[in-house]
Amino acid sequence: MPMSISACLRYAAPQAFYALAGRLVPWFAAAAAAAAAAGLYVAFFVAPTDAQQGEVYRIIFVHVPAAWMSMFIYVVMAFWAAVGLAFNTRLSFMLAHALAPTGALFAFLALWTGAIWGKPTWGAWWVWDARLTSELILLFLYLGYVALNASIDDPRRGDRACALLALAGAVNVPVIYHSVQWSPMLHQSASMLMALAFWMYSIAMALARVRCVILEREQESAWAGAEFRGALQARPA
Amino acid sequence: MSWGSWSEFIAMGGYGVYVWSAFVMCAVALALEAWLLALRRRNIVDYLRIGARQD
């Protein structure tokens, strides 16, 4: 087996991934902060006023990245759910659990900012078209996933039930994607920088959350206790 | 984009309420998630610390 694959497999063990994630979180958080600072600067001080919409169009600099992240996180979550079902790897399910709340947050923000942008631009907070409705369904899928996970006491059964829900719901993502008219305006640097900020933020949150999930799941294990026994000098065996 | 003054910046060409409620909600929501996650971490870490002391 090549070195790189065996190195990756080593991190499939929750204990090893716990330590790796702990080292990565500050870097992704710092990258998110830097990208957000640059993105907000460009969004408010570089990007010109839109000829048709005036200043209100600046909402798209958070709206579009939030909508994009809500879909992207779902795809990644469904991917880990599928890996978990196929290979029965505990860490895969834990990663899916760690992604769901952040995905729900971005789905909520996409709807919230979309409504606020839509009112002055199109004259309505909400319309029941394919795009908005499928994004709302995406939010409900995330919330359903979180609720389902919380309602099943046996973690292994919860893992499988959630994974099935995640996979069944994945059919919704192409519906959203194809119901949106992706305007070339979205490729402005402010949108790109804010998307990068949200992306880095999501990774930082997912890694920080998966560390909590790992500790909660492994709380009876020797290593989890030893992690907080002060120094890691284990007692004599 | 150069703004004449602070008040012009806040006003956002008359769309201030819309623009700022969108951006502020994003900031609040992201900060809230980070804070809730810190609480969740503190809970499990405290629990493990107590367990470790009793060993």
Instruction: Give the ipTM.
Output: 0.92
Residues found in chain A? 237
Taking contacts as CB-CB distances below 8 angstroms, the residues of chain A near B41 are 208, 211-212, 215
Give bridge partners of residue A50 from the DSSP assignment. Answer: A54
Q: Nearest-5° angle of CA A59, CA A62, CA A65?
A: 135
Contact between A75 and A173 under an 8 Å Cβ cutoff? The reply is: yes
Residue A137 tokens read as 């369904």
Please judge whether A55 and B13 are an interchain contact, meaning their C-beta atoms are less than 8 angstroms apart.
yes
Q: Percent of chain A having pLDDT more than 90?
A: 68
pLDDT tens digit sequence for A40-87: 999 999 988 888 888 998 999 999 999 999 999 999 999 999 999 999
DSSP code of residue A49: P
Q: Select from A45, A109, A215 the Cβ nearest to the Cβ of B25.
A: A109
Q: Select from B15, B25, B44 the Cβ nearest to the Cβ of A55.
A: B15
SS3 A229: coil
Buried b (16+ CB within 10 A) or exposed e, A6-45: eeeeeeeebeebbeebeeebeebbebbeebbebbbebbbe
Highest mean pLDDT among A107-116, A216-225, B3-12, B46-55: A107-116
Distance of CA A77 to the CA centre of its chain: 8
Which of residues 51 through 90 in chain A touch B, CB cutoff 8 A?
Answer: 54-56, 58-59, 62-63, 66
- Residue A237's pLDDT is 44
- Residue B17 reports pLDDT greater than 80: yes
Grade residue B55 by pLDDT with cuts at 50, 70 and 90.
Answer: low
DSSP code of residue A237: -
Residue A83 tokens read as 């890996």
Grade residue A211 by pLDDT with cuts at 50, 70 and 90.
Answer: very high
- Residue B2 reports pLDDT greater than 70: yes
